[in-house]
A and B are shown apart, each in its own frame.
Chain A
Amino acid sequence: MTNSIIHILLALTMPPLLLGVIGKTKAAFAGRVGAPFLQPYYDIIRLLRKGSVFSTTTSWVFRAGPIVALATTAVAALLIPFGAHQSPISFDGDMILYAYLFALGRFFTMAAALDTGSSFEGMGSAREATFSCLAEPTLFFALITLSRLSGSYSLSGMLINISFGVWLNTGAALLLLVCGMFIVLLAENCRIPFDDPNTHLELTMIHEVMVLDHSGPALAIIQYGAALKLFVLGAFFVHLALPYATGNSLIDWGLFVISMLELAVVIGMVESAMARLRLVRVPQLLVAAAILAAFSTLLVIR
């Protein structure tokens, strides 16, 4: 029960901090002081107080987009275990629900973008549709590998099972999986090299261009939802790459928070070191990720 409460509290409060850490890391690499760690919180609170402008073309779908995206990500956050702790909701087959919840959120985000009738937002929506369905098989190859390794049918069982001992036995498969899932993590969260959250050229954007017309509280919901999505997908990834566990509940929560922050620093480093890919290269990288994950599946299935 305590663990569930900590889980929910962390999911509610911590996500924007990751964005702050990423920003600070990028600033450090560029030799700047950078915005404070808590800047994303300030941004969200400021947006909540602002008024909204709605396009005359839009219908209820436009307003539903951010809401459904946030709600689906929040339910997914309850399915994924944080660190060595069971997730609050866990059952056989919850990994399928996890994957399909994100698809539901994406459905409404993309539909909301098309609702504005803007060709730029249509472009963003089409790109999101294309890239996300290429990312889907990678996740499923990863789930198959994890399910086979752990003998479990639920996310908690699959992910908590990973330990340094498992790494010693099936290091090759897990290494391939870490590479594949890191690519998917960056792509799904629209980070460099797939998308640049800070760009101002609508022609090249993906996620940011889909939400061009949202303003005020809706934009705050979108930004918070995006941070939560990074947090949830990051928690999945951290299990694979940094499977620390001590057995002490409190220390494990500390370790989880530290590894999430480490992940944010790594994402910041990647963003500082790389340029955005040309859009035509993105599918190739995503297919490469799927192939890496497929190799890892073959290694454990044989």
Chain B
Amino acid sequence: MAQELVAASTLIFAATLLAALSGAPLLVPGLLSVSRGQLLATVLMLAASALGLIGAAVALISGSSEIFQLAWALPFGPAEIGIDPLSAWFLIPIFLITGCAALYARTYWHAGHYPHNVRKMTFFFGVMTAGMSAVVLARDGISFLFAWEIMALASYFLITTEDEKPEVNAAGTLYMITTHTGTLGLFALFPLLNLLSGSWLFPAAGSLTASSPLAAAVYLIALFGFGMKAGIMPLHIWLPSAHANAPSHVSAVMSGVILKVGVYGIVRTLSFFNAVPLWWGCSVLALGGVSGVVGVAFAIGQHDLKRLLAYHSIENIGIIFMGLGVALVGQATGSPAMMLLGMSGALLHVLNHALFKALLFLGAGSVIHATGTREMDLMGGAARRLPYTALLFGVGAVAICGLPPLNGFVSELLIYLGFFQGIQGTGGAAAAAAALAAPALALVGGLAVACFVKVYGIVFLGSPRAERHEASHEAGWPMLLPMLLLGSICLVIGLAPSLVAGPLGRVSLTVLPLLVTTAGLPLQELAPLEMITIAGALLLALISLVTFWYRRRLAGTVCSENVTWGCGYQRPAPRIQYSASSFAGMLTSLFAFVLKPQSHPPEIAAGIFPDRSRFSSHVPEAVLELVYIPALKRLYARFSGVRKLQNGILQQYVLYSLVTLVVLLAVSYF
């Protein structure tokens, strides 16, 4: 067993190193042509992801954990890295999605088309992958922060791949500001943890009591710092523009994996505590509910394909938080069933969301590649030219709505079962919280269906709305293959969830050691995983049966083709089709109290014949534009005097550092 584990960690460390160096040959001037360098980096990334996946799988199956000490000469005590089931679980999406995205990028962002930024993008892509892997491997505050910053900075350079465009730069700057605000929180988090546990090393799971005020401060700061990265509402402001402006495969990794690293931070921090108070669980549940409902409501209002997908990430992070909330409420009220169902639902949704969101972003990338626009209202009928992309995107769309027989349904079912456990329980507050959360999750599901019908219908179905943006070509195999892989995993998890039940149970045990003492609760007994398989198979069988019968029937009767029935209208044109904005119109007006949609109606001319006129409508990022920016402007006006300190003279900054050090020395002396 021990030997196996060494092999697993060796594989993972090798994979991390390989990923970090994958783009390095491109940086050496004159060593390789851009195209060859990109090819080499792709191969290295694929090798890294294969090694990493094998390592993570071995570590998950064996289920034990190992810690290694680094020879680290900094004045913070020992630095450790380690692997346990929780790390291994998060390593799976990290290596899977980055591998898929790297293969996709070779065609999507080919060196021939983007010679000036391919070097930068490829290099930082590898660095970001290594950074993420290092974050989940770190076992002390200092290494964690190092890895965290490497990941955050590398993703900044990836977002700003096309830094000649002003909107890309704006998105990058917003990302930079918010990510560092979050990191600021983490800088406060680890010293507080140090105060609690007396060491920079991560405390063992369940070793700290959560009742002290200091623990509450740790919890709130972790929620802020990691929540910023995870994109929980109302800290999500960086996310829509960053995901929309990055290249699609980078968006896939950011949305699929980087947000999950934020979730990892929260799960890891929560795992340190035992006897958490009820308000922790209730607040996580409430944050999740708000993120879920408001995130999907914002998504419905979008007409930029990638912005829409970005808002769905906020929604799905909300669902993950709802699962974590159930687990915490269960911990507070002493219900092992709630803990296990909530935690495994949340963790499975982490993997599921990585799978289908990456699939959707890669699919969106193919469509954008083929149509030359991100504006959904200019697309239409893409399924004719991109049949495979359309099919795979459809799989992702059904999966993200949480519909059977795909994987999204399984994780949502686990979370729902957690809610129902809470409702049956004796705890009044827990029952009430669960009773309000379940309908909220149902509303999220309903809105997600509305939103993805809109996306699928407007982008892939009907006929092209603008000749200039008619889809031209199907994506090549290096772009389709990763999507096919992700789509098949979605189907496998959806049809045979028992496959992941064992590892999920083990990961939940590392996070919630309390469960060990109340053992004898395997996930399979609480959740009807084999019934999901039966029901899914039955559904697919019925669909095939009816299809077979219908085709036979069609063969026996007269079939003809004609134009769509226009209700008597003689001159239909593609532009009279329902558009993304009109489809969403009713829902955005229902949610107008949070979305604050803006529309600019045309002026009706007074003359006999109508003049040319324009109409536009738009759902802004209301939280950023109506809350943060006005508040920050007021803050800026109030504190502009302090800015005199920041005068741009380097020597003075060095002086500040010196003064600070002297003051600190004096403080520590007395």
Query: Which positions in A face B, CB cutoff 8 Å?
Result: 48-59, 61, 63-64, 67-68, 70-72, 74-75, 78, 89, 91-94, 96-97, 99-101, 103-104, 106-107, 110-111, 113-123, 125-127, 129-130, 132-137, 139-141, 143-144, 147-148, 151, 153, 202, 212-213, 216-218, 221, 283, 290, 294, 297-298, 301-302
Contact = CB atoms under 8 A, between A and B. Distances in A.
Nearest to A150: B424
B280 interface: no
A133 B447 contact: yes
Contacts of B458: 114
Contacts of B584: 126
Contact of B381 (A52, A57, A118): A57
B535 A117 contact: no
Interface of B: 380-381, 383-384, 390, 394, 398, 401-404, 409, 412-413, 416-417, 420, 423-424, 428, 431-432, 435, 438-443, 445-447, 449-450, 452-454, 456-458, 460-463, 526-528, 531-532, 534-535, 538-539, 542-543, 545-547, 550, 553-554, 557-567, 572, 574, 576-578, 582-587, 590
A188 to B, nearest CB: 12
A297 B565 contact: no
A152 B634 CA distance: 55
Contacts of A217: 550, 553-554, 557
Given A71-B543, A104-B398, A92 B527 contact: yes
B453 A107 contact: yes
Contact of A136 (B398, B445, B534, B538): B445
Contacts, number: 255
Nearest to B394: A61
Contacts of A212: 565, 567
A291 to B, nearest CB: 11
A49 B557 contact: yes
Given A56-B561, A59-B461, A68 B543 contact: yes
Contacts of B450: 129-130, 132-133
A89 B577 contact: no
A107 B452 contact: yes
Secondary structure type dominating chain B contacts = helix
A294 B417 contact: no
A92 B529 CA distance: 10
Most central of B435, B441, B463, B553 by chain A CB within 10 Å = B435
A123 B578 contact: yes
Contacts of A302: 428
B439 A100 contact: no
A107 B431 CA distance: 32
A147 B420 contact: yes
Nearest to B443: A137
Contacts of A151: 424
Contacts of B565: 55, 116, 118, 212-213
13 contacts: A57-B381, A67-B546, A91-B528, A111-B457, A114-B462, A114-B578, A116-B462, A117-B564, A133-B450, A136-B439, A153-B417, A301-B432, A301-B435
A299 to B, nearest CB: 11
Contacts of B404: 97, 100-101, 104
A126 B586 contact: yes
Given A58-B564, A93-B527, A144-B438, 4 more contacts: A51-B560, A92-B527, A118-B572, A129-B454
A97 B413 contact: yes
A147 B423 contact: yes
A71 B404 CA distance: 12
A44 B79 CA distance: 73
Contacts of A96: 412-413, 416-417
